[in-house]
Chain A
Amino acid sequence: MDASTLDTRDIMLRTGVALVPAFAAATYWFGPGVLVNLAVTLGAGVALEAGWVWARFRTFDAVKDASTPVTCALIAIAVPPSLHPGILVFAAAMAVILAKQIYGGIGKNVFNPAMVGYAAALVAFPAHFADWDMLTGATALDALRFREGATVAEVWGQPAFGLVGAHGFEVVNAAALAGGLYLCAVRIANWRMPVAVLASLGACAALGYDNGSSASLGSPMFHWFSGGTMLAAFFIATDPVTSPSSVRAQWIFGIAIGALIYCIRSFGAYPDGIAFAVLLANLAAPALDKAMLRP
């Protein structure tokens, strides 16, 4: 067979490479705790999956596609640095076992495993996720939401804010954007999903932004470069397994994610709504394909 075509493993390894800049930036801004997260989730995720598939199939073939390390890396960068290892193991187990292997392994899962792991940990251990506050004073997303009548320019003086987005996060987002553009350039990631997510998030933010009055909810630029926006747009929304295949459905899927991120960020109880936005869109993907996928 033609050796020039990438196989599943190549795709996963390249996705891993594309995550390197984001990890480098996160480690620089948030400390080596990010790498501790990575080590713990990687070890736990791979070991759990290997144990599971060995128990079921008596072979390790299902682990060799290198998809689990990518899932684990996405969890590791999404959670606060130096999170309790027990929670990391829990998140990895939820991702690999509950979200992937229970459904029958790679290709058959409905939900993005990394987001299931992250969301499960966030819901089960909310206190530990408040640790972001310890590190940055207050995450910018929270600071912007609970600011009691101050204008955007006034809160911008707080240490939680950076040049255009949240302090530190803006650099991580820029790094993730670079990795994501690489993935799109080599055609591993479908460019429609990130474009749709970012456009929709930007449009929602533009509608809610009136040049920084006290009622204003953050500029498009702020939303693009805060939290996990770029990771979600380029690495999570583009997961081929859990996104639709029809082009029209892909646009709708991306737009839904962007709008949901904005809504949860602005009006919800969680600091960053990415995981829930993605999971809700995942839920709609099969129906979208059923309605729109035609040869």
Chain B
Amino acid sequence: MGAAVKRLHLPSVLRYPLLTRMGRCEPRVVSGARVRSGDVLAAGNARTVGLLHAATSGVIELTPAEVLLHPDGLEDALPPLAAEDLAKRVCDAGIVGLGGAGYPTWLKLQQAKRAAVTTLIVNAVECEPDVSADRSLLRGHEDEILAGMRALAAYLEASRTILAPGEGMDVDIADTEVARVTGTYPSGSERTLVRRLLGMELQDRNPTDVGVVVFNVATVFAVHRAWHHGERLVERVVTVQDENCWLRIGHPVRELALPEGEVTVGGPVTGWLARQGESIAKTTRAVTVKTPVESRPCIRCGWCADSCPEGLLPQELFRHINAGHWTGMDALRLDDCVECGACDLACPSRLPLLATFRYGKSERRELERRARDAAVARDRFTARSARLERLRSAERKEREARMASRREWTHRL
């Protein structure tokens, strides 16, 4: 680790799934079309997904679920972006938070501008152990990151800019406040960072509510490329096993030279198993191969609880979820789990805690949905019964009235 960032050969195909973790996008190209690097391939809601650009020139193949780009190797590119407003430029470049959350950067910029933030924090504290993408970027591109920071600070009119590198990173940049953040995982999350650097407890608030905005260092780098060079976001640094590579967005995971084992995308701790045809997304920090470990029974040592940044009781949650014991789960605050995976790292029994909590959350959502549906169906049924009853009684009254009038008529005869 720490070596220069590698560049890989162009893969045989680039895959862009239309359903991303942030939302769905619609294709803007048709099968057989020829695109240049930087052409918009697909676009989603600008508030969630934004634009997806071609990472090279080639021919498009459209499938129901994804856009495939077969490179022609010519690397034709569109002219650089020209929008004069930074937020507009960032939006055109399709930049989202590259730290992992994928929140549209232009939206964050707009919110920060509106909130008149005074402090800009650049987060280079690695989000996860064994991921070094941020670190390698910071090491090789100090000047560019500084340029990106200056551009952001000028746009936001922020008076204070803090660069926060993680453990073991020696950064010495003139005229920049550098605050090294050390300590055990997890300390790289936005909320932790604000607490550690500024001593502010956010609780339910966003950093912009307290005059702070946090950008990941890779995002800052992408902003610099977009602002000073007019480039779109088509590649990023990804930690592949234990080396860092510049990978194009859409690079198929299968075309990375990986050893045998379970391929995990998104980080060794918080990532998920690679699906068939998985490719590098804008938010992919790392691709890791894990050797499966065997779990042992929980011995209630409590190390998971000690490691939890939210102060939860992972062992109790694990027990309840595995027992399907959903009632009384509110007290254990499953929904407060930030899915950092620190408990997985601490567990001496190597239990799949994080995976279980993710399952538990989705299962609970499903149960809640079903309960809601059942309530709606019940309301609808009672309303229908009442309406039918009303109709029937009206009909009965009408018939009685008719009968009465008929009786009266026969009497008169």
Interface residues of A (CB under 8 A from B): 1-2, 5-8, 10-11, 61, 65, 105-108, 190, 240-241, 245, 293-295
Contacts and interface: CB of A to CB of B under 8 A. Distances in A.
Contacts of B290: 1
B302 A8 contact: no
Contacts of A1: 268, 290, 293, 344-345, 350
B301 A11 contact: yes
A105 B311 contact: no
A295 to B, nearest CB: 5
Given A1-B290, A2-B129, A245 B302 contact: yes
Given A7-B349, A11-B348, A295-B332, A240 B300 contact: yes
Given A8-B348, A10-B348, A245 B313 contact: yes
Interface in B314-352: 315-316, 331-333, 336, 344-350
Nearest to B332: A295
25 contacts: A1-B268, A1-B293, A1-B350, A2-B130, A5-B345, A5-B346, A7-B349, A8-B299, A10-B348, A11-B301, A11-B348, A105-B297, A106-B297, A106-B299, A107-B297, A107-B298, A240-B300, A240-B302, A241-B299, A245-B302, A245-B313, A245-B315, A295-B312, A295-B331, A295-B332
A2 B186 CA distance: 14
Contacts of B316: 245, 293, 295
Contact of A107 (B293, B300, B331, B332): B300
B300 A5 contact: no
Contacts of A61: 294
A295 B345 CA distance: 19
Contacts of B310: 295
Contact of A240 (B129, B299, B347): B299
Contacts of B130: 2
Interface string B115-131: 00000000000000110
A58 to B, nearest CB: 16
Nearest to A239: B299
Nearest to B344: A1
B345 A241 contact: no
Contact of A7 (B333, B336, B350): B350
Given A293-B316, A295-B312, A295-B331, A2 B305 contact: no
A256 B43 CA distance: 66
Nearest to A250: B302
B98 to A, nearest CB: 24
Contact of A6 (B296, B311, B312, B348): B348
A114 to B, nearest CB: 15
Contacts of B346: 5
Nearest to B314: A295
B77 to A, nearest CB: 42
A293 B316 CA distance: 9
B312 A190 contact: no
Given A105-B297, A295-B311, 6 more contacts: A2-B129, A7-B350, A8-B348, A107-B296, A107-B349, A295-B316
A222 B95 CA distance: 71
A241 B300 contact: yes
Contacts of B315: 245
A241 B268 CA distance: 29
Contact of B331 (A11, A65, A294): A294
Question: What are the 6 closest A-B residue pairs judged by CB atoms, nearest first?
Answer: A107-B297, A240-B301, A295-B312, A7-B348, A107-B299, A8-B348
